[in-house]
Amino acid sequence: MPHETLKIPQATAKRLPLYYRFLKNLHSSGKQRVSSAELSEAVKVDSATIRRDFSYFGALGKKGYGYNVNYLLSFFSKTLDQDELTKVALIGVGNLGTAFLHYNFLKNNNTKIELAFDVSADKVGTKIGDVEICHMDELEERLADQGISVAILTVPAQVAQPITDRLVHSDIQGILNFTPARLNVPASIRVHHIDLAVELQSLVYFLKHYPMEEATEPDGHAEPFID
């Protein structure tokens, strides 16, 4: 990602893949031009927020004309490093991990689960999709061999921190944590925590206590509990 984009607000950075996905759909349908109002309706982010997000990158559109779809798609493709494959390791091949392997981010051209790790004798040495399942004993060696810098953690909570410590020593730069454990890592490593139980409880709470129009963030869409 270009250095200048690193200074944009984190909320804006989280929305960029959302914009990119919709722009790909527009491009596939043959649409050449899109307004911020059309983008707003599609991605459920208010148009003022979209214009503010885009303003961090300079003049991406023209007043009264809107945005050129091909130009935006090319711009965000480069911004999100879509032409560079990021290899990902999946740690823990239970029900959730297996679902990830079947999905394997097929709609994201720049992200692919390259290896999976588990301790079950029934799983080690097999493949799900085209992803090899390796034993945890091979973790450090295989990560180094493949040059993997991102890991998805779908293991029992009680082993999450010890495995994370091993990932830290394997030069992993980012962890997507689906366990309830709050991981301790050096400041140089980024962790996004996604607790599905917390997300569900939050959804139920908002349904019970807030009118529908108040159940979203000020920018017009609900933000997941990711930090």
Q: What is the per-residue pLDDT for 11? A: 85
Report pLDDT for 104: 86
| Total-model pTM | 0.71
- What domains can you pick out in the chain, each with its CATH number? 3-79 (1.10.10.10), 86-194 (3.40.50.720)
Return per-residue pLDDT of the chain as tens, 227 residues. 444 444 788 888 888 888 888 888 888 888 888 888 888 888 888 888 888 888 888 767 666 667 888 888 888 888 877 667 889 999 999 999 999 999 888 666 678 999 999 999 999 999 998 999 999 999 999 999 999 999 999 999 999 999 999 999 999 999 999 999 999 999 999 999 998 888 888 889 888 887 665 544 444 444 443 33
Query: Which residue type sits at 85?
Result: L
The amino acid sitting at 50 is I
Q: CB under 8 Å to 136, separation ≥6 — which residues?
A: 91, 117, 118, 119, 163
pLDDT at 133: 97
Q: Say how far apart CA 190 and CA 208 lie, in whole Å.
A: 34
pLDDT of res. 225: 37
Report DSSP state, residue 5: G
User: Given this model, what pLDDT does residue 35 score?
Assistant: 85
Spell out the residues 6+ positions from residue 14 whose beta carbon is closer than 8 angstroms to its own. 223, 226
Spatial contact of 205 and 220, defined as CB atoms under 8 Å apart? no
Taking a C-beta distance cutoff of 8 angstroms, is the pair 188, 171 a contact?
no
Distance CA 146, CA 167 (A): 14
- Pair of tokens at residue 111: 């992200």
Name the DSSP class of 130: T
How many C-beta atoms lie closer than 10 Å to residue 123's C-beta?
A: 19
pLDDT for 219 equals: 45
The 3-state DSSP class for residue 35 equals coil
